[in-house]
């Protein structure tokens, strides 16, 4: 392992930009149990881009509301706090994720497509599992690869070693841990902890490539532990569907016990893949309009 690379990675994580100020304010008011719809509307309306995205999202088939939502007040009432939180996070990280990701050689826009694919897939699985907090699944899926924005520089620098390691029967995240001392999931989780996001989201991001290594009990609820499985499976299926063109490609393991825990067989995986694709393409259209 290259201890210098790990140290520099940790320094970059500490220096990673905070969430944009307005997103932090919106998330703060959304988490305040005493906040009224009028309070929320006032804070969100300060950000015209976020307001426009929320209205488009509220009227999308993925959300599935009956009737047209024409105002921010209606959207706040109909969408609920959880969905507003999803959209706030999505709008705030969009600009970070639409650029090219060096090292992994992800083309401009493709990281965002992948993030939306995994977010939508994790939420669909959470709905199928009848989990109470489907919004956390969306947000965990959206942010699961954010660590690549930090790790990319070192992936580029150490590409030959990483490629050689992953060619000899190891997945790419194994190679990252062996060569860089950390994988991109660990980098991402450290960023989210730095942002003060909930521990369930951080665990889902940290363990998304190695769900069977999630420590027991790690102080997580049943649903928070399940979140790791949802992001893992949605990520695997999104990669198979071509949501991501990074040069490491599909060099990641997909754990069969996760599919078993979620009650998936090959037919159900394909049906899920079809739903993910249709919903993700629609969502990408909503956010990109």
Partner 1 sequence: MGESRTAGGRSADPVLVGGMAEAKGTGKRLCTRPLGSGLGVSVFDPELHLGCLLHVVLPTSIADVEAARQNPLLFVDTAVPMLFDRFFSSGGRRARMEVKVCGAAVADGVADLFQIGRRNQRVLHSLLDKNEIQVMAHNLGGTRSRRMELDLTDGSVRLFCGREEVRL
- Would you count residue 243 as binding partner 1 (CB under 8 A)? yes
- Segment contacting partner 1 by CB under 8 A, of 14-22, 24-32, 52-60, 240-248: 240-248
- Would you count residue 178 as binding partner 1 (CB under 8 A)? no
Q: Which of 119, 122, 179, 254 binds partner 1 (CB under 8 A)?
A: 254
122 burial class (0-12, 13-18, 19+ CB within 10 angstroms)?
Answer: buried
Q: Which of 281, 282, 287, 288 binds partner 1 (CB under 8 A)?
A: 281
What single string gives the DSSP state of each residue in 201-249? Answer: HHHHHHTTT-GGG--S-TT--HHHHHHHHHHHHHHHHHHHTT----TTT
> Cβ–Cβ contacts within 10 Å for residue 183, how many?
25
Q: Are 214 and 235 in contact (CB under 8 A)?
A: no
- Would you count residue 105 as binding partner 1 (CB under 8 A)? yes
Over the Cα atoms of the chain, what is R_g?
18
Is there a cis peptide before residue 217, judged by omega within 30 degrees of 0? yes
- Would you count residue 163 as binding partner 1 (CB under 8 A)? no
Q: Which is closer to partner 1, CB of 110 or CB of 123?
A: 110
CB of 236 to partner 1, least distance (A): 6
- Segment contacting partner 1 by CB under 8 A, of 15-23, 73-81, 88-96, 257-265: 257-265
Q: Which of 96, 269, 287, 288 binds partner 1 (CB under 8 A)?
A: 269
Q: Are 147 and 187 in contact (CB under 8 A)?
A: yes
- Would you count residue 63 as binding partner 1 (CB under 8 A)? no
CB of 167 to partner 1, least distance (A): 9
- Would you count residue 107 as binding partner 1 (CB under 8 A)? yes
123 burial class (0-12, 13-18, 19+ CB within 10 angstroms)?
Answer: buried
Q: Which of 171, 177, 181, 186 binds partner 1 (CB under 8 A)?
A: 171
220 closest CA partner among 201, 192, 206:
201
- What is the x/- site pattern for partner 1, positions 23-62, by CB under 8 A? ----------------------------------------
- Would you count residue 199 as binding partner 1 (CB under 8 A)? no
Specify the 3-state DSSP secondary structure of 106.
strand
Total site size for partner 1, rule CB under 8 A: 39
288 closest CA partner among 91, 9, 12, 140:
91
- Would you count residue 194 as binding partner 1 (CB under 8 A)? no
Q: Which of 155, 246, 262, 286 binds partner 1 (CB under 8 A)?
A: 246
Q: Which is closer to partner 1, CB of 7 or CB of 61?
A: 61
Residue at token pair 């893992």: 232
Q: Are 272 and 134 in contact (CB under 8 A)?
A: no
- Would you count residue 65 as binding partner 1 (CB under 8 A)? no
Q: Rounded CA gap, 119 and 88, in Å?
A: 14
Structure tokens at 181: 């001392």
- Would you count residue 154 as binding partner 1 (CB under 8 A)? no
- Would you count residue 98 as binding partner 1 (CB under 8 A)? no
Binding residues for partner 1, rule: CB under 8 A, are: 104-105, 107, 110, 166, 169, 171, 236, 239-254, 256, 259, 264-267, 269-271, 273-275, 277-278, 281
């Amino acid at each position: 392992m290259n201890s210098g690379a790990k140290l520099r990675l940790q320094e970059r994580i500490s220096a990673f930009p905070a969430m944009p100020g307005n997103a932090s304010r919106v998330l703060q008011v959304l988490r305040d149990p005493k906040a009224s719809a009028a309070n929320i509307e006032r804070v969100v309306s300060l950000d015209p881009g976020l307001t426009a995205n929320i209205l488009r999202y509220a009227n999308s088939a993925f959300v599935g509301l009956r009737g047209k939502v024409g105002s921010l007040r209606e959207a706040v009432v109909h969408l609920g706090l959880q969905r507003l939180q999803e959209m706030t996070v999505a709008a705030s990280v969009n600009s970070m994720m639409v650029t090219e990701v060096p090292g992994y050689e992800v083309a401009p826009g493709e990281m965002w497509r992948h993030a939306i694919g995994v977010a939508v897939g994790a939420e669909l699985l959470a709905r199928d599992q009848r989990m109470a907090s489907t919004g956390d699944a969306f947000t965990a899926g959206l942010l699961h690869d954010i660590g690549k924005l930090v790790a990319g520089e070192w992936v580029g620098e150490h590409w030959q070693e990483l490629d050689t390691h992953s060619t000899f029967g190891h997945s790419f995240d194994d190679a990252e841990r062996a060569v860089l001392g950390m994988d991109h999931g660990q980098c991402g989780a450290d960023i989210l902890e730095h942002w003060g996001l909930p521990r369930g989201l951080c665990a889902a991001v940290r363990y998304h490539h190695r769900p069977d290594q999630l420590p027991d009990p790690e102080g997580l609820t049943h649903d928070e532990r399940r979140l790791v499985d949802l992001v893992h499976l949605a990520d695997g299926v999104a990669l198979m569907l071509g949501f991501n063109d990074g040069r490491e490609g599909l060099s990641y393991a997909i754990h069969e016990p996760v599919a078993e825990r979620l009650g998936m067989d090959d037919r159900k995986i394909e049906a899920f893949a079809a739903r993910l694709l249709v919903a993700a393409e629609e969502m990408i259209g909503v956010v990109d309009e």
